[in-house]
């Protein structure tokens, strides 16, 4: 007997599938007591094995007042976001050379789409908590949080290189790298 892997995940024999392979709960709010004031509860193939090969996943995003889901990208998925509570400023930036910001204020019941691979964000501009649900077009969309990747990489990207790329003093980059490295380790 041999095992079959698809998308890097084990494919279970359909005769052995059970309800737990297709279930996960996100009814409890995530902890937003952190530096960005948000919590993303991912619901992908790691939480629901039955999603493997189905091309979908989801996430619950909880926001404290003025919390944010910082600029990030999903390299393997388009995202559609539905606001359940609160008011969010959301947006994405188009690709080079235009780098146009496309943004909108969303209220309860509003929906917004973030195209695959584009840098996007959500920011709770309200004085109360906010909740949103996202659907993603991959069972394993991936996420790259821009600041964490650039300033918190291990090993660190050369600060002189980043200073030139961002057109700032090298000391600014070194300070950011210290902050992001300390926050992630």
Give the model's confidence band at 16: pLDDT under 50 very low, under 70 low, under 90 confident, else very high.
confident
**Average per-residue pLDDT for the chain:** 92
Mean pLDDT of 12-37: 90
- CB atoms inside a 10 Å sphere around CB 76: 18
Q: How confident is the model at residue 9 (pLDDT cuts 50, 70, 90)?
A: low
- pLDDT score at 3: 60
85-95 burial code (b ≥16 CB/10 A, e <16): bbbbebbbbee
Locate the DSSP E strands across the chain: 5-6, 9-10, 38-43, 57-63, 68-73, 79-85, 88-93, 101-106, 111-114, 120-124, 130-136, 144-145
Sign of CA dihedral 161, 101, 141, 40: positive
| Number of other residues whose CB lies within 10 A of the CB of residue 65 | 14
Answer whether residue 7 shows pLDDT above 90: no
Whether residue 2 has pLDDT greater than 60? no
Contact present, 156 and 129 (Cβ < 8 Å)? no
Neighbours of 58 (CB within 10 A): 20
pTM of the prediction? 0.89
- Report whether pLDDT(6) > 70: no
Model confidence over 116-172: pLDDT tens digits? Answer: 999 999 999 999 999 999 999 998 899 999 999 999 999 999 999 999 999 999 999
**Which residue would you say has higher pLDDT here, 182 or 163?**
163
- Average pLDDT, stretch 61-87? 98
Question: What element of type H or E holds 166?
Answer: helix 159-166
Check pLDDT > 70 for residue 97. Answer: yes
């Amino acid at each position: 007997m041999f095992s079959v892997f698809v998308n890097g995940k084990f494919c279970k024999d359909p005769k052995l599938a059970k309800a737990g392979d297709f279930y996960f709960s996100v009814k409890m709010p995530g902890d937003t007591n952190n530096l960005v004031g948000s919590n993303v509860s991912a619901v992908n193939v790691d939480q629901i094995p039955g999603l493997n090969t189905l091309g979908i996943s989801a996430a619950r995003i909880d926001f404290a007042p003025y919390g944010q889901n910082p600029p990030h990208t999903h390299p393997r998925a388009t995202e559609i976001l539905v606001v359940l509570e609160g008011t969010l400023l959301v947006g994405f930036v188009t690709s080079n050379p235009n780098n146009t910001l496309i943004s909108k204020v969303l209220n309860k019941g509003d929906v917004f789409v973030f195209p695959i691979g584009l840098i996007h964000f959500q920011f709770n501009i309200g004085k109360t908590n906010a909740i949103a649900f996202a659907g993603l077009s991959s069972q394993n969309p991936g996420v790259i949080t821009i600041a964490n990747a650039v300033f918190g990489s291990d090993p660190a990207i050369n600060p002189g290189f980043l200073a030139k790329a961002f057109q700032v003093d090298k000391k600014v980059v070194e300070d950011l790298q210290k902050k992001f490295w300390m926050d992630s380790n």
